Amino acid sequence: MKKLTTDPTPKADFADALHSTPTASIEEPKCPFSAAVYTDRSSDYELRIISRDGAVTEMGVDLTSKSTKLNLRGEIMWSNGAARPYIALAALGDTEEFYGGEIYALAVEGAEVINSGLPGPDDDAPPTLLLPNYSATFYSTFRDDYPETAELPQDVYYLTMCQK
């Protein structure tokens, strides 16, 4: 939420805050966008997607498992379809490092990250895939470049997209 530093009441509407022209300084919002993640249908994960210099095709990822304390960080690089982000994840800590292409059937077991396969370009979206919420602010720009993109699956968990 964006708020005026001179006003203790946060702005209720982020769009209003963006277009307001206050004379006081403004505190930048930390997490203005929503995002979605496919997992094993649990809410055990916390996801942060961080934009890099305002680019919509490259983002940083911070994915944390609450139960195992596993922390993954990486870069999302969009492929030629918006429903198929390519991502490189590195497990941080005492585990083996894991680097993947397009995420498919990614399972987290204890501190191990297992990639069980990659889909082909014409395959359905896999059950474990990081996706943006296309209703987020950056989508209109991305949609202009990729008008043929697949629709988002219905059953997703909406989390938070944060900016540095």
pLDDT tens digit sequence for 123-161: 444 333 343 332 333 233 334 444 444 333 222 223 333
pTM over 0.75: no
- Are 103 and 46 found together in one domain? yes
pLDDT digits (tens), the chain, 164 positions: 333 333 333 333 333 433 334 444 444 434 333 334 443 334 444 444 444 444 433 344 455 555 544 444 444 433 333 333 333 333 333 333 333 333 322 322 222 223 333 344 454 443 333 433 323 332 333 344 444 443 332 222 233 333 33
- Are 81 and 133 found together in one domain? yes
Distance CA(47)–CA(124), nearest Å, equals: 23
Specify the residue for token string 């916390």: 46
How many helices (H) and strands (E) the chain has is answered by 2, 11
- Are 9 and 54 found together in one domain? no
Number of domains in the chain: 2
- Are 65 and 111 found together in one domain? yes
List the domain range (segments joined by +) for residue 41: 31-162
State the burial class of residue 39 (Cβ atoms within 10 Å of its Cβ: 0-12, 13-18, 19+): buried
- Are 44 and 104 found together in one domain? yes
Distance CA(75)–CA(50), nearest Å, equals: 9
Q: Is residue 139 within a helix (H) or strand (E), and if so which, with residue range?
A: helix 139-145
- Are 36 and 77 found together in one domain? yes
- Are 86 and 14 found together in one domain? no
- Are 49 and 17 found together in one domain? no
Specify the residue for token string 């305002």: 54
- Are 150 and 84 found together in one domain? yes
- Are 53 and 1 found together in one domain? no
Percent of the chain predicted with pLDDT > 90: 0
Distance CA(4)–CA(6), nearest Å, equals: 5
Distance CA(68)–CA(76), nearest Å, equals: 23
DSSP string computed for 6-50: T-SSPPS-HHHHHH---SS-EEPPS--EEEEE--SS-S-EEEEEE
- Are 80 and 139 found together in one domain? yes
- Are 35 and 71 found together in one domain? yes
